[in-house]
A and B are shown apart, each in its own frame.
Chain A
Amino acid sequence: MAERYSSFEVGGRRWLWQRITAAFLVAVLAFHFFLLHFVNHADEVTFAMSQARMQELTYFSLMILFLLTATFHGVNGVYNALVNQGISGTRKTAVKAVLGVASAVLIVQGVRTALAWAGGVPI
């Protein structure tokens, strides 16, 4: 039987979620770059322009979902890269904890910023 090379656990769902978020991010990251560099130019950015976009519920919710999926995909990717390098035991547990805390901080900070632009959830 062939040796198994994957960094993911057998039967785990993280492999699938890494692919699902990848498919979503391919489209949203391309949209993000296009909108903020080609439609709007980066050097013309102002708080008011960002605020106008964020006050639209569709855009606001897309950006929150973008933050959540990018954080999961990025942090899960880092974790798998480290597992692939052979970390195990206490180091693996410590890495998992540090990455978990870093993700939580990033998401909280990102959501706070989005809310500051939108002036609350734009419902």
Chain B
Amino acid sequence: MSQSYDRGLVEDFGRWREFSAGMWAWIFHKFTGWVLVGYLFTHIAVLSTALQSPEAYTTTIQSLEGLLVVRILEVGLLAVAVFHILNGLRLLFVDLGLGLGSQDRSFYASLLLTGAIVVASVPTFLAGVFG
């Protein structure tokens, strides 16, 4: 018989110090999911300038990519996407019942790997924006 686990109210952020690794993984996965779905709609809206004219598309993308703030947001997007991917893989394994005993360590590994990939990608993401 399966056991239930009283995780308490996640909305009660006053007790954030008591949150376990799994709870943080749940919160981060939800947060990154909301960001990604919001970005999906924005992304298609920006790409839709291709419907106007080839020039409108090229100008829009190149103008946006010329802004430092956009490049920094893209690094943030990469961080969010990489974490969601890695934690998503962790969740697929959890769903399959694999590595349940290491689910906290696999969350920490997801965080570390996300950090490493993002830091290593910063030069590529900021290339050319400083002139």
Residue numbers of A with Cβ under 8 A of B are 1-3, 5, 19, 22-23, 25-26, 29-30, 33, 37-38, 41-43, 45-48, 50-51, 67, 70-71, 74-75, 77-78, 81, 102, 106, 109-110, 112-113, 116-117
Chain A residues with CB under 8 Å of B61's CB are 42, 45-46
In terms of DSSP, what is the predominant structure of the interface of chain A?
A: helix
Residue of A nearest to B56 (CB): A47
**Contact call B44/A110, Cβ cutoff below 8 A:** yes
CA distance A30 to B83 in the complex (A): 11
Given A26-B89, A109-B48, A113-B44, are A48 and B54 also a contact pair (CB < 8 Å)?
yes
**Contact call B40/A74, Cβ cutoff below 8 A:** yes
**Contact call A37/B124, Cβ cutoff below 8 A:** yes
Partner of B124, one of A2, A5, A30, A38: A38
For chain B residues 82-96, which have a beta carbon within 8 Å of chain A?
85, 88-89, 91-92, 95
Q: Chain B 41-65 against A: per-residue CB contact (8 Å), 1 yes, 0 no?
A: 1001101101100110110011001
Residue numbers of B with Cβ under 8 A of A are 1-4, 30, 33-34, 36-37, 40-41, 44-45, 47-48, 50-51, 54-55, 57-58, 61-62, 65-66, 74, 78, 81, 85, 88-89, 91-92, 95, 121, 124-125, 127-129
In terms of DSSP, what is the predominant structure of the interface of chain B?
A: helix
Quote the shortest CB–CB distance from A62 to chain B (angstroms): 16
